[in-house]
Structure 1
Amino acid sequence: VAEMTKLLHGASICVDATHPYATEATRTICEACETTGVEYHRLLRTESELPKNSIVFETAAEAAEYLESTAGNILLTTGAKELPAFKNLDIKRIFPRVLPTLDGIRACEALDIPHRNIIAMQGPFSLDLNRVILEQFNIQWLVTKDGGAVGGFMEKAKACAYCGARLIVLRRPRENGETVESILERCRKLL
């Protein structure tokens, strides 16, 4: 909060355009705006239309519990912070796609995920790259969040359809916010 408060010094408006699942970051930004008196606006990403055969869960823990009774390799694209929820699964089945950072690799190592299973890359990823990853690692299950178009959600969903993998989606946290158009209008008024 202190760092965000310092960053907001002298600002008139703050647009929180963080990932829809970055609830901790949003709380921090809100608190810093309240402390500084800076006007806060939450930019909402448009939710994706989920394919009909998607399996939807509220939490990563629920998805992991479901996957315990399945067979086949699992591509986790939910981020390093969600990895501990999958600790009870057979680690040989887990292929986490994480950011290529020390924190991302360490999160995988904390679960004893073999290095050969770690896919450390920065997205978003094209349909073709998603498809190739699914094929290369013989993935039957892809677990993701609905990051919208910016997060490459449809490319993952289409790759699953193409390869016959099942799509598991972690439901977005409920939030209030505004469209790009309404936030841009507010910014124009400030100028």
Structure 2
Amino acid sequence: MILIISGTREGREITLLLVSKGYEILSLNPVNHGERLITENSSGDVLVYEGKDALTRLLETNRFKAVVDASQPFFEKISGPVKYFCRNNIIPYIRFVRAEVELPDSPFLFPVYSWEEAAEKAAELGNTIFLTTGSYNLEQFASYPQITGKRLVVRILPDQRVIEKVRALGILPRDIIAMQGPFSREMNKATFRMYGASVIVTKESGRAGGTDSKISAALKLKIPVVVIKRPRMEDEQIISVHTYDEVLERVSEAIRK
């Protein structure tokens, strides 16, 4: 059996591709940042796992031949433990990597390499900080001392649990935008303008994540953008792939072993 960590368009497409090739699949879709794990197997059966130990039980009770991780590149809450499990159990860990968006040369762009650095730079650049990073790691901004007294506007998924988490961190209802993306450049421009954004914070999550349209919209309005670059993958045991054909090739190799 192959485990696919999904939660992205690529994850869904890879799942369908492998099923069409006859592979036995268990697709894991993290929602609410891993608080619930929804899995679907090749037969279409859906299972929901709740709680912190759900992932461990899932990994220990199934004999996976390989793991294909096509989740968001910043989502270490799931990817981290899975990588650790694969390393300890000699299971191939295949990481699908989205093509990066090439950042234009602009004085309004500020690449950073951590959430803490992003909060620091955003606090330095403006008083109305517009977060397009969802609720993940929102506490890094909400609790950052230099952001105290500044306005935080957050765009999140329209999910009740996510909204409750954001409210619990002290974000006012008027500063919560609960909408499902992706968003066009014009939609981003209109939203940034409407909320009076003085700095935008985004993740470098590829075109599929809307990074290019966010940056383009902000630069058109001459609003500074803090771009959180992807975590560096330095683990030699990670098999990085960039195309669906590479996924098929690596899965085939894992099955033959």
TM-score range, shorter chain: 0.7 to 0.9
In the alignment, is the contact (CA less than 8 A) between 2:125 and 2:199 conserved in 1? no
Matched position secondary structure for 1:80: coil
User: Which residue in the other structure is 1:95 paired with?
Assistant: 153
- 2:84 is equivalent to residue 26 of structure 1: no
Report if the CA contact (8 A) 2:94-2:250 is conserved: no
Q: Indicate the structure whose relative CO is greater, using CA pairs within 8 Å and at least 6 residues apart.
A: 1
| Contact 2:134 2:155 survives alignment (8 Å) | yes
Report if aligned partners of 2:129, 2:150 keep a CA contact under 8 Å in 1: no
Equivalent residues in 2 for 1:119-138 (5 A)? 119-138=177-196
Match of 2:34 in 1: none
Length-normalised TM-score, structure 2: 0.65
8 Å Cα contact 2:155-2:176 kept in structure 1: yes
Task: Tell me by how many angstroms 1:39 deviates.
Answer: 3.2
The yes-or-no answer on 1:5 pairing with 2:59 is yes
Aligned residue for 1:77? 132
- Looking at structure 2, the residues matched to 71 and 31 of structure 1 have their Cα atoms a distance apart, in angstroms, of 39
**What's 2:102 paired with?**
49
Deviates more, 1:160-169 or 1:24-33: 24-33
Change (3 A) 1:37 1:162: same
Where 2:199 maps in the other structure, the secondary structure is strand
Please say if 1:65 is aligned against 2:65: no
Mean Cα displacement is larger for which, 144-153 or 17-26?
17-26
Q: Distance in 2 between matches of 1:56 and 1:103?
A: 30
1:142, distance to aligned residue in structure 2 (A): 0.8
What is the aligned residue count?
Answer: 190
1:113 maps to amino acid: I
C-alpha distance 4-174 of structure 1, shift in aligned 2 (>3 A): farther
Partner of residue 249, structure 2: 185
Instruction: Note the residue ranges of structure 2 that are not aligned, 5 or more in a row.
Output: 1-54
Cα pair 2:97 2:241 within 8 Å, conserved: yes
Q: TM-score, normalised by structure 1?
A: 0.85
- Secondary structure in 2 aligned to 1:45? coil
**Alpha carbons of 1:5 and 1:71: their partners in 2 closer, same or farther (altered >3 Å)?**
closer
Q: Distance in 1 between matches of 2:149 and 2:155?
A: 14
Task: Supply the distance in 2 between the matched residues of 1:85 and 1:65 (Cα, whole angstroms).
Answer: 10
> Is the CA contact (8 Å cut-off) linking 1:4 and 1:28 kept in structure 2?
no
1:24-61 per-position Cα deviation (integer Å, ceiling 9, x unaligned): 21122224445776432111111111122210112222
In structure 2, relative to structure 1, the CA distance for the partners of 1:18 and 1:91 (3 Å cut) is farther
| Aligned-pair Cα RMSD in Å | 2.4
Query: Structure 1 residues 34, 125: CA separation in 2 closer, same or farther (over 3 Å shift)?
Result: same
The reply to whether residue 149 of structure 1 matches residue 213 of structure 2 is no
Deviation at 1:16, TM superposition (A): 0.7
Partner residue of 1:104?
162
2: CA distance, partners of 1:91 / 1:145? 24
CA distance in 1, matches of 2:90, 2:118: 40
Q: Would you tell me which structure has more strand in proportion to its own residues? A: 2
Q: Over residues 107-160 of structure 1, what are the superposed CA-to-partner deviations in whole Å (9 max), with x where a residue is unaligned?
A: 322232110110112222221211111111111211010010110110101111
Residue by residue, what CA displacement relative to the aligned partner does 1:169-188 show, whole Å, maximum 9, x if unpaired? 11210015122232222345
User: 1:10, CA displacement in angstroms?
Assistant: 5.3
CA distance in 2, matches of 1:101, 1:20: 21
Give the unaligned 5+ runs of structure 1. none
